[in-house]
Amino acid sequence: MANPNILCTRIDNRLIHGQVGVTWVNHLGANLIIVANDKVAEDEVQQNLMDMVVSDAVQTRYFTVQKTIDIIFKASPRQKIFLVVKDIHDALRLKEGGVPIDYVNVGNMHFEEGKRQISSTVSVDEADIQACKRLNELGVELDVRRVPNERGQNLMDLI
């Protein structure tokens, strides 16, 4: 079975918003956004709000992380997938579950109690750092970048 046509995987704790639903989708040429997150997969209100940001030409799917792992290889080659996750831990679960992710765009990991800010949009705690290191060991490039035309930074250089 062929690998799914995943154009980009992005970590953004806001999931789909203007930057993701318009700027990144247009830059990538994606026609499908898959949000892989256990809570959002069960929250139709949040899904409907996110769908309002996306063009009618782009489909959206909201799956749990496990369902994404289970079905990603059933994707059609015509599906140009933009995979969006809420945090580094969902990205790691996908990679360890066999989803072919070699590159992750780290867009937003908001600051909260117990985290330290390492860039204008990324804050991490020790658990996040361990997940980053594990993804790095698995050969995943972690690129901190808010928007496509911004120069990225290797997350491993920042932690």
What domains can be seen in the chain, in order of their start residue? 6-146 (3.40.35.10)
Q: Which of 17, 27, 89, 110 is catalytic?
A: 17
Global pTM? 0.94
Give 9-32 pLDDT, tens digit per residue.
999 999 998 888 889 999 999 999
Angle between helices 88-96 and 126-137 (to 10 degrees): 30
Give 141-156 pLDDT, tens digit per residue.
999 999 999 999 999 9
Sign of the CA dihedral running 119, 122, 126, 131: negative
Residue 17: active-site member = yes
The stretches of the chain forming alpha helices (DSSP H) are 18, 25-28, 44-51, 65-71, 88-96, 126-137, 155-158
